[in-house]
Amino acid sequence: MSESESQSVSQPARSARYFALIPAAGVGSRMAERCPKQYLAIAGRPMLRHSADAFLASPQIAHTFVVVSVADAYIDDVIPPALPKVTTLRCGGATRRDSVLNGLQLLRPTIADDDWVLVHDAARPGLTPQLIAHLIAEIGDDAVGGLLALPVVDTVKQVGADGVRTIPREALWLAQTPQMFRYGVLCRALTQATHVTDEASALEALGYNPKLVTGHPRNLKVTLPSDIRIAEMYLQE
């Protein structure tokens, strides 16, 4: 057996790692608050801290990265620089896609192309380590990756110039986060797809079919003031 063959036998293949990335550079204008909505207190803690804590409590996540704007004046009080296993990246962009891509590009020396990145909304404070584990288990070694989502259960109406019509809901899902994809393909998708609202749509633009993994209503996105009470109900359970 040659030396190179001996090394290939004695050194097992590296296992892919899981990293979390939370884009938190938005201003949350629909909340009509004086600070960005990710810093609003829900159940006694800033919304962003709830989201980050879910990853910090997960033994499967190697490290968590939070992307904020360069001039963010709140983040150090919410995510102290000395907090283990989490790093703040001050490279936020004008859109979610820009913030995620900027963060990913900064992490190129840290993350391998086959490592997984779980992108999660800062405004989804109801995430739990159990939901993270469920997503990772369901994705497994899927060639593409996927995201948490909920099947639509209500009747859906579409309003158009010709009136109102009912849309079949059987194939409709509500996208949640985390959205979990390999680092290499996610970078490529976000680089090529410039007008997308989430990571899954960037993968779809390249012809991929992300897997939908059933999430949970507690993982709602806080968008309007009325959403805060619902989020608090779940967090206080």
Q: Is the pTM of this model over 0.75?
A: yes
Tokens read off for 132: 């993270």
State residue 237's pLDDT score: 80
State residue 150's pLDDT score: 98
Q: Are 170 and 215 in contact (CB under 8 A)?
A: no
Q: How far apart are CA 22 and CA 44, in angstroms?
A: 20
Q: How far apart are CA 150 and CA 158, in angstroms?
A: 20
Q: Are 13 and 112 in contact (CB under 8 A)?
A: no
State residue 228's pLDDT score: 93
3-state secondary structure of 154: coil
State residue 9's pLDDT score: 53
How long a stretch of residues is the chain? 237
pLDDT in tens, 104-156: 999 999 999 999 999 999 999 999 999 999 999 999 999 899 999 999 999 99
Domains of the chain: 15-235 (3.90.550.10)
pLDDT at 98 over 90: yes
pLDDT in tens, 161-175: 889 999 888 889 999
Higher-scoring residue by pLDDT: 1, 67: 67
State residue 4's pLDDT score: 52
Q: How far apart are CA 38 and CA 24, in angstroms?
A: 7
Residues 6+ apart with CB under 8 A from 219: 124, 126, 127, 131, 148, 176, 177
Whether a cis peptide bond, with omega within 30° of 0, leads into 178 is yes
pLDDT at 90 over 50: yes
Q: How far apart are CA 178 and CA 185, in angstroms?
A: 16
Confidence of residue 78 (pLDDT cuts 50, 70, 90): very high
pLDDT in tens, 15-66: 999 999 999 997 654 554 577 889 999 999 999 999 999 999 999 999 999 9
Q: How far apart are CA 117 and CA 106, in angstroms?
A: 14
